[in-house]
Amino acid sequence: MADKPYVIDEMISAKAIAARIEALCREIVSEFSDTEKLVVVGLLRGSFVFIADLVRELDLPIEVDFLEASSYGNSTESSREVRILKDLRNAIEGRDVLVVEDIVDTGYTLSHVTNLLRSRKPARLKTIALLDKPSRREVEFRADWIGFEIPDAFVVGYGIDYAQRNRNLPFIGKVRFTEPAS
Ligand code: 5GP
């Protein structure tokens, strides 16, 4: 599957992403203006570019931690079974936490991760996703902040991969296979 030929059509430009992040950060700063120290949790690996741009726009005292949940592997379909591959380094009890995700698709990953983190009793737990595909939802989940709603398409770039490739594209692009599936 991963070696089927494809092209990438630009969907969201680097400029549009940067402008949206600025606007989102104004809202996040106002939500957490009273925080002692915000723990910004990036979900590896797809959110690494987003979290890097996001934290540099957050004029707040922050700490950064990472969590890795199982994802699509080399396929374009969700496994629906979420496993934690790498847990947080630090405890979050009593802390203000912002979970940063690249895409909400079926909803399984963020609903599993937020249930897990909520069981650790943070003071506040909020979520932000750069992209949301509401038409693909299988379990109810809504992030507190969303960058862009997109249609049902498989996307890459800005940290998001297809079989570990294309993470370094500065924009979000849609994968278009150039040969029919066999
Ligand atoms: P969910 O559990 O909501 O179905 O999926 C969330 C995860 O699936 C995302 O963090 C991302 O890793 C992966 N995912 C969902 N849609 C896409 C997509 O269009 N492209 C890529 N590369 N990964 C996706």
The reply to whether ligand 1 has any atom less than 6 angstroms from the CB of 129 is no
C-alpha–C-alpha distance, residues 133 and 40, integer Å: 23
C-alpha–C-alpha distance, residues 64 and 165, integer Å: 25
Residue 67 Cα to chain centre, angstroms? 11
Query: What is the Å distance from ligand 1's center to 108 Cα?
Result: 10
Quickly state the pLDDT bin for 182 (edges 50, 70, 90): low
* pLDDT number for residue 74: 58
Q: 59 in a domain, yes or no?
A: yes
* pLDDT number for residue 154: 97
Q: 88 in a domain, yes or no?
A: yes
Q: Which domain holds residue 32?
A: 14-152
pLDDT tens per residue across span 120-172: 999 999 999 999 999 999 999 999 999 999 999 999 999 999 999 999 999 99
Decide which of 78 and 11 is more confident: 11
The mean per-residue pLDDT over the stretch 24-29 comes to 98
C-alpha–C-alpha distance, residues 153 and 167, integer Å: 16
How far, in Å, are 21, 27, 91, 148 from residue 50 at the CA level? 9, 16, 23, 13
CA neighbor of 82 nearest in space, from 94, 68, 66, 70:
70
Residue 176 has pLDDT above 60, yes or no: yes
Quickly state the pLDDT bin for 4 (edges 50, 70, 90): confident
Q: 160 in a domain, yes or no?
A: no
Domain count, the chain: 1
Query: What is the Å distance from ligand 1's center to 19 Cα?
Result: 23
* pLDDT number for residue 179: 79
Residue 3 has pLDDT above 90, yes or no: no
Strand 84-86 and strand 62-69: pairing?
Answer: antiparallel
Query: What is the Å distance from ligand 1's center to 162 Cα?
Result: 10
The reply to whether ligand 1 has any atom less than 6 angstroms from the CB of 108 is yes
Q: 136 in a domain, yes or no?
A: yes
Q: 94 in a domain, yes or no?
A: yes
**CB of 108 closer than 8 Å to CB of 138:** yes
Q: 137 in a domain, yes or no?
A: yes
Residue nearest to atom 10 of ligand 1 (CA): 103
Q: 97 in a domain, yes or no?
A: yes
* pLDDT number for residue 62: 98
Measured in residues, the chain has a length of 182
Q: 75 in a domain, yes or no?
A: yes
**CB of 40 closer than 8 Å to CB of 56:** no
Category of 108 on φ-ψ map: left (φ > 0), alpha (ψ -120 to 50) or beta: alpha
Q: How many CB atoms lie within 10 A of CB 36?
A: 10
CATH of the domain at 29: 3.40.50.2020
The reply to whether ligand 1 has any atom less than 6 angstroms from the CB of 55 is no
pLDDT tens per residue across span 42-89: 999 999 999 999 999 999 999 999 999 986 555 666 667 899 999 999
